[in-house]
Every structure is written in C-alpha cells, then in structure tokens.
Structure 1
C-alpha cells in the first residue's frame, strides 16, 4: 500500500478491566470513524495496576482474555489493522506476559509480541519499578508483514535499546511501533528524543500510542502519543496527557526515499571492539 492513515489511541487505563475494555472499544471505533486504516493502543491497554497480586488475580490467559477477543472482532467489523499495544496475559509459570497483538482487517491475528526488556529501575525521585517480578520477558523480536507495510513491534522500555530497532529495520521493517506507559519523569526528558532518534537511525516511520495522566494505582504517565516520519519529523502528537486520538497519513514512499538519501542501513558495517589500556 502506497499510503495509509495511522491512529494512536491515548488512554488512561485503570484497575477495572471491564471499564478499560469499554473505553478501548469506544476509542477504537472513533479512530476508525476518523478514517484510520491502522489503530494502535498503548501498553497495558486492558489493565494498569502496580500491585503484583492484584494484577495476577485479574488477568486471563490469551484464549480467554476479553480484550483480545474484542480486538479481533472490532478489527474484522471495522476492516482495520488493530494493534493492541500490549496487555497483561497470564502464563503458566505464575507470571504474566506483557504482550502486544496485531489483528488484520479480517479479524485474524497477524502477530503477537512479548516485551523483551523489563523496566527494572530506581529513578532519581525515589520511584522504583521491578517489572521482572511480575512479567516474563520475551526473547523474540517481531516484524509483521502486512498490506500496509512491514511493521516492527516493541513495547515501552524497549525504546532504550536501539539495536532492537536496527535489527527490525535490517529485516525489512518500514514502520516501528512503540506503544508505551512512559513515566512522567522519564517522558519529559527522553520520550521525544528517543522516538525521533529511532525514526532517523532506521529511516522508518515510528508510531507510539501512550498512556497519559494520573492512574488509579498512583502512577503518572507522560502521554504525548506521537507519529514520526522517517526523517524524524513529528507528523502528529497529543498535546498533553488527556485521553485522545491523533492521526497522520503515512506516505510509504518516504521510507525508500529517506533510505536512498541517507543510506545508513546500506552503509552499516559489522565490527569488533578492542578494549585497550
């Protein structure tokens, strides 16, 4: 497809899966009504809760998860590519997967992706996170072939690991996706810079739907969902952290044009490192 309209759905998911599901459906329908061919929702679309026991007590396995079922049905009904940025999925080892899903216009599952990099950090303001206590990391990068183009999948903290996106671009990805629940503290400093850098480094579109605002579990997320062009230009951005929809038209010829103009992928070289002294 030479071009398509992409939409980011910015949410403020909370502790009630049923309420999140209702919001999800309403906003996806609105995005499709605005002409979107591809709709992406944020990380933790279905449930956003910090307490490990509460989360594991509410999540379902993939086969019985109502958000997964609803996304499949909506994609088919609305004839769109629908990307659940991620949702928590129960595993059989006492942990969950932070898993994204991409459905096609016929409602069929095209690809799933488990977040690889766990957000295990202690931030300067005392904020601390240990995702590995709750989630089992994935071990496989994913590039989905679709009529829209080749789409690389990732989730939030993955953004800080540029080799993931370079590997996807070298495998043919033309669109890189970064659904997220970036903290307000880190988002202010790094969100725009990192997203634009991933676009520029790989001469690819970047689509990043985000959580935004003060959530029921007390966390604050940055919002500012955005879509960037292969040269790093921001094509669309949510101006703040309120729930909303942002859209942009993606001219896929821009990927080849940018890769021809500045052929950093073609010029990439393998090398070794010699630590001396």
Structure 2
C-alpha cells in the first residue's frame, strides 16, 4: 500500500486551508497513494473566538473531503475538525475517514484532551472547549485494519495497545504538535508506538506559526513496525510518501512475537 502524509500550515483563513489541503490530496493521488492523511484541525488553527461554527459529521467539512476522495479515487483521512458537541460550550475534535467512492468509512472523536500548564511557555486547556470521545476505533482502509487517534492521544500507550489487540496493522496520528514538545518527544513517541505495537505509524502534522502566538513542529513521518522512519517531511508544507510492506509487518510479528507473548 502506498500512503501519503500531508503537512499544512493551517491558520485563520478556512477557505485557503481547505484549498491547500485539496491540492496536497491531488499531489498524493498523482503520486500513486491509495491513502492520504491530513493533520489535526486541517480547516482552521487560530483563536477559539474565531473558530468556524461546529458542524455535524455530514456537514460542509465532510462534503468537501467526501468529494475529494470520490473525485481523486483515494482513501482520505481528513485529519480532524470541530464537530458539533454534546452541549453549547464544547465541540468534539473529530476524525472522518472517506472511501474512494466518497462514502464515510469511520468517525473517531479524540479521547485524551490537552490540558497543560508550563510556566512561561504554554497554557492550554483543551477540555474547556472540547468534549472527550469515548470509543476506540479500528476501521479497514484498503482492506487493512487501521487504528485511529489524534495528537495528544500519542502520549497514552494503552490506547494504541487496545487498537493493536483489536487487529490494527496501521496506526494513524493526525496532529498539531507544539514546537516546544515536538522537538524532543514527537519522533520518540511515534517510534515507540510503532515498535511496541508492531504497526506502521502514519503521522501527519501541522507546521509553522498560527494565532495566538503558537508554533507547530511539523516533521510528518511514516514509520515501519521495526521503528524505522521510512520517510519524513522537511520543514515546509507538502506531502511525504512511502510504500507499506504488509508482509514485512507479519514477518516482524512472527519473528519477535511480543504482542502474542503479552500476559497483561
């Protein structure tokens, strides 16, 4: 399976962000990708007060990426967006996955919310405006069981173990990882999730500055089940492509059967 991770610098202009996302999907399809993955909050990154009105899973956001999947004939993992939440004060941070015919294959709502206070560096309370999801999701993409997650989920290995035990061979991580944590933790955590679960990991990140005064790390990458980085994006918008060898994954699981040997 050929896959692409798309790296964007989404900001306040939603129409521009969606236009860039579409162009990257077109490049992925032209490069032979069967699946293209977009980053977290692909349509908007900025001040909460300026965020687009939350939408249902069949709203304009979904229609845009369903059309892209159908017109390009590829699987589209649409990063995430602000879905209508359980009350008037909170949304869901939601992933949608579309089949090549444009139909909706899966929905995942981010479970772990980024509530962090680092004195003098960052203050962010995602739970003030976002409600947590409650269900883990494994869906088939091109016949391959694929586990879904979003950004801060990456720090919780128990989620990924549940996905692997449920059959996942691919783990997908759309993100807007901050620069101050990303430069030390992003690659380490992604490679750890690949190694311990013997899965391919596809991580699509936001890159660059956005309001209010934050910077995303980027470095989108594709990692094999041995923990080897197969491809990594430079520090710019664009796509990064790699071919997944699913036979190699099964060989790794047979020769080093850590999943089969687990006792807890």
Q: Tell me the TM-score normalized by structure 2.
A: 0.96
Match for residue 245 of structure 2?
A: 251
3-state DSSP class of the match of 2:216?
Answer: strand
Of residues 69-78 and 123-132 in structure 1, the stretch that sits farther from structure 2 once superposed is 123-132
1:136-175 aligned at under 5 Å gives the runs 136-175=131-170
Distance 1:32-1:16 versus aligned 2 partners, 3 A rule = same
Match for residue 201 of structure 1?
A: 196
Q: Is the 8 A contact 2:54 2:91 kept in 1?
A: no
Q: Distance in 2 between matches of 1:250 and 1:199?
A: 13
Q: Does 1:14 align with 2:11?
A: yes
Q: Does 1:188 align with 2:183?
A: yes
Name stretches of at least 5 consecutive residues in structure 1 with no aligned partner.
Answer: 271-277
3-state DSSP class of the match of 1:30?
Answer: helix
Which deviations, in whole Å up to 9, do the C-alpha atoms of 1:37-95 show, x marking residues without a partner?
100000010111233x322xx22322563221111011111111100111112225121
Q: Is the 8 A contact 1:176 1:206 kept in 2?
A: yes
Q: Is the 8 A contact 1:88 1:99 kept in 2?
A: yes
Q: Does 1:118 align with 2:106?
A: no
Match for residue 50 of structure 2?
A: 54
Q: Tell me the TM-score normalized by structure 1.
A: 0.92
Count residues in correspondence. Answer: 263
Larger radius of gyration: 1
1:82-93 aligned at under 5 Å gives the runs 82-93=76-87
Q: Distance in 2 between matches of 1:173 and 1:34?
A: 25
CA RMSD of aligned residues (A): 1.3
Q: Distance in 2 between matches of 1:200 and 1:150?
A: 17
Distance 1:11-1:105 versus aligned 2 partners, 3 A rule = same
Q: Is the 8 A contact 2:178 2:215 kept in 1?
A: yes
